[in-house]
Amino acid sequence: MAVDPALSLRVSEIKDPEVLFERYNTAEIRRVERKVRGEIEQKKEELRQMVGERYRDLIDAADTIGEMRQCSESVLQSIQDMHRYCHQLKQGRAGSNSCRQEGQTQWQEKFYTMASQIKLLLEIPERIWSAMEASQYLQATQLYLLCCHLHSLLQLGAATGGHYSPVLVRFPILVRQVATTGHFRSTILLESRSLLQGRAVSDQAIAEALVSTMLLEDSSPRQALADFLLARKASIHQLLNQPQHGAGIKAQVCSLVELLVTTLFQAYAVFYLPPEGGPRPGQGALSCGMLFSTLENVTSTTYAAKDRRLLQEETSTGRWFKYLPPSIIEFQPALRTLAKPIQREQLRDTLQQWIHTCKEDICRGVSSLLVYVKSLKGLAAIRDSVWDLLSTESISQHWSTVCQWLLERPLAVWDDFLQQLFLQRLQAITKEETEAISTSSIQLLTSTVRDLEGQTIPTSSATNPGSARGAQYEVDVASFLWSESPGDLLSDAGWVSVNQRGQQHQRSSLAMKTQAVTPFVQNFCSSLDAKLKARLDDLRHYLPFQDPGSDSSAVSAPPSGPSESASASSFNRFTDSPAVEDALREGCLACVRLILSSIRSELSSSSPHLSPARLSSVLFMARLCQSIGELCPNLKHCILGKHSSSEATAKGTPRQGKKLGKARATSEVSPAQTKWAALKEDLLVCSMEAYRIWSSALSKVLLDKFGTALHAESAGAILTTATNWEDLEIQEEAESGSNVTSNIRLPVQPSWFVQSLLFQLCVQVNRVGGHAVPRPTLQELLHTCLNQALHHYHTFTQQAPSREGVFPMTQNRALQLLFDLRYLNTILGSRVEEGKSSRSHQDPRFHEVCDWLESYIDPFDLDVFTPPLNTNLNRLSQRTSVLLGLLTGSDKQFAPRSSSGNSQEPYNILPLASSQTRFGLLPLSMSNVRKSKSAPRSCDATLQLVSDRPGIRYESLSVSNVPQDGPCFVQPWEKCFSFTFCPPSVFEMHR
């Protein structure tokens, strides 16, 4: 719809009517006319309304104008009358008597006196405002009191009956002046009290503000002290109630400390008076008693005070000031009551009560402020700022003196007010952070366990091959050991030796593999160690020493400034270092205990029946508990604190440690070291609990198969477990004295099911990283296997001997079973301790089974068979010590055979290393005096054997034509293949 251009035209735009007729037609011009006339009527109506609303004001203005005209006419008339009267006086009598002249002079002087007083009264308000703008409240008070004195002289107060005084009648302007002066008293009091709340106010300004309050309220010095302390308490509340914005908390705490210290200094400077006859402050010391000196200067009426009069400068320079009366020129304010000095005991009690009250408010307020500080670095920054403030020369130089004079005791601001608050907040932050670490670690542990349980091993269709491979590594550590990864060697391994690497440096993957630390364990420990390192880095800001476990070069040295013992007001920032370390220690201990509790709950759900799906998670938790203490060095630093540096120093000097071994043994063990030892013991116990679940499940599976083979009843099943026997030729002396030669057959190997049991046990132990499994766990596993094996043997002896379809017990079978049992006892049994007989050390069931088996052997044959049988058993045990090295261990290794030439033993024995640093049971060379030429021949022979058919190595180690004094080396990867007669089923299972 088009808009009419005539209606859109504004009236203000109409300047030339001729233009309208050129642009618009007649109808549009008429519409413009109607619009203009409508607006004219609207403006008229608005004018009528405005006139109606303002009519009363107009009438009042008109009346006022009329009154002004009348007043002006009366003034002009009076002036004309005065002019006429003066003209008549000039023309009148020329002489007058002397009495009238003297009266006129006195009246003129009185008139000038009153006029000067009125002029001064009119100037005082401006002077008062100028003094208040310059914060000179004492001068403003003096002027106000002078103004009140002028009011009394001029009798400006209201007379009886409500009539004004003659002066007010003649000078109406003074009425408003009197009303204005009445507001000065409350204003000066308010501004003076607000000045008392300031921190950056001089002592003189405080004294003058208090004198102003005393003069206006006619109060005593004790009341002035109460006003001063109340103002400072209000200032403290104001600081505590300010909004908190991060770094503003440090400024608030420093302001509180500064206000508290300044209050005591100003209380000394303003209110304290030295006792009469006592020692006076020396040259350069703090001034004191300023309240009384200022009050004396203001109220004194002595001749010396004339130079300090209020109107001294105006009197000497102004003309009209000479007409002021002496009572005004020499005016000095006065107190109605005598200002007695405050007694020292009263001042001490009042200040102590104020300090006690403020301490409660400050502790409550600062505690609420410190809630917003979330790190120990922030707490340390606030503490250091307070220390810097108290260590300034202006405070530290006289603080002890002021406290001794005022309180008669030292006052430590940090120790009495803030230290406990900061320590409580530090403990709260540490507890929150360690609880967060434990929560996140438990979540990581739970998720890792669930991931391991959710993986099937082996898996070919896994969605996450890396996770499946990690789960496989938990069960089969051998695959992890022999796998290659980019991080096996560190980038600087070529030029940095192992001895030069500290505990905090990164460990290579190869080092982790040698310790059987799987990737899942590494991830968990690295995550926990990183979080603990963050806590240590945060704690380093609060402690005076650098954490030895830190690889950072930053040292938390005290900031530059006066030394800790240089001032009495500054404090030792690190007195609570033991409590800080205890807080972190207890938090870390609680954190690890929570993790152990979670691990134990997971283990309790896995026992007593361990499913294959949970095997990897149980082994993971066992290795985790075993590795936390070593892979989390920051945990050790958190618990040991400063003792960790002493331990590191002791470890770095082994020779000195050996020399001072006795002294170190007799030294006292710190509580932190005791707690660290207890924590390591708890971790080891938990690790052994997890390993115990694995060993129980393993022994049950293997011994069930063992029991099934042992209790075989058919002749065919018994023959399948039989092994090779040895033909021996023995010579015996007949009754006639001649030698009789006879051939006997004796077992030289255990049964197949016994070999399978030991080999499978060794394989399973190697799969979980047997070289890293705790020795007590291995011993417990062997002991459990031996007990269950003896149980099966004992159950076997309890069977009915003559049952239908059961192969009867023969002498040969009894010899084989006896050989098997004694071999198992030799391999799985523990070493006989010195001072104990072998029979008392062994299980009674072993002897019962042996006696039962020997009952099936002819006694004469048993006497003949026992020596060679023992020889075969000893020979077999020594031969299999390499293959079954993890089962036999270094404590049951046999002594290396002598190199003398009279030995007739044709078999080969590999002597083993007695120490196990990384790899256990490494074979050594036989003789240290072998010839240089024999070594290449033997090595060539060994290499030739490797190229032959499979299994030739086993036979080569058992042949009798190997030279006794020839060297024999077995590489570490050949250790598991040094057994002579292994059944084919064993190799199939190993594959």
Distance separating alpha carbons of residues 268 and 228, to the nearest angstrom: 12
Q: Which of 245-254, 362-371, 683-692, 780-789 has the lowest mean pLDDT?
A: 245-254
Is the pLDDT at 983 greater than 60, yes or no? no
Q: Which residues contact 685 (CB under 8 A, 6 or more apart)?
A: none
CA distance 474 to 124: 96
Confidence band for 436, pLDDT divided at 50, 70 and 90: very high
User: How many C-beta neighbours within 10 Å does residue 108 have?
Assistant: 10
Find tokens 């011009």 and name the residue: 29
- Strand 725-733 relative to strand 739-747, pairing: antiparallel
pLDDT for residue 432 is more than 90: yes
- pLDDT of 289 > 70? The answer is yes
With residue 730 as reference, give the H or E element that holds it: strand 725-733
pLDDT of 550 higher than 60: no
SS (H, E, C) 731-778: EEECCCCCEEEEEEEEECCCCHHHHHHHHHHHHHHHHCCHHHCCHHHH
Question: Which residue from 639, 673, 486 is spatially nearest to 549, judged by alpha carbons?
Answer: 639
| Cβ(886)–Cβ(771) below 8 Å | yes
DSSP H helical ranges for 455-518: 465-475, 477-481, 509-514
Report the C-alpha gap between 391 and 566 in whole angstroms.
Answer: 9
The pLDDT tens digits for 90-147 are: 776 555 555 566 666 777 777 777 777 777 777 888 888 888 898 888 888 888 888 8
Higher pLDDT, 777 or 966: 777
Instruction: Give residues with Cβ within 8 angstroms of 550, minimum separation 6.
Output: 504, 533, 536, 537, 540, 637
**Entry pTM:** 0.68
Collapse the DSSP code of 704 into the 3-class scheme (helix H, G, I; strand E, B; otherwise coil) and give the result: helix
Quick one: how many helices (H) and strands (E) in the chain?
A: 41, 2
Between 511-520, 693-702, 828-837, the lowest mean confidence (pLDDT) is in: 828-837
Q: Give the side-chain half-sphere CA count within 13 A for 238.
A: 12
The overall average pLDDT reported for the chain is 75
Q: What is the pLDDT of residue 682?
A: 92
Measured CA distances, 273 to 147, 174, 885 (Å): 33, 45, 92
Q: What pLDDT, on the 0 to 100 scale, is given for residue 741? A: 84
How far from 784 is each of 146, 752, 846, CA to CA, in Å? Answer: 109, 21, 14
Q: Please, what's the b/e burial string for 190-201 (b: 16 or more CB within 10 A of its CB; e: otherwise)?
A: eebbebbbbeee
Cα 243 from Cα 866, distance rounded (Å): 95
Torsion of CA 511, 513, 516, 519, to 10 degrees: 110
pLDDT at 603: 87
Whole-angstrom Cα distance, residue 450 to residue 614?
9
Q: What is the dihedral of CA 297, 298, 304, 310, to 10 degrees?
A: 140
CA distance 597 to 271: 64
Q: To which residue do tokens 């690790």 refer?
A: 687
| Runs of H (alpha helix) within 272-398 | 290-299, 312-317, 326-329, 344-370, 376-390, 393-396
Amino acid (one-letter) located at 598: S
Name the nearest CA neighbour of 513 among 323, 855, 772, 697: 772
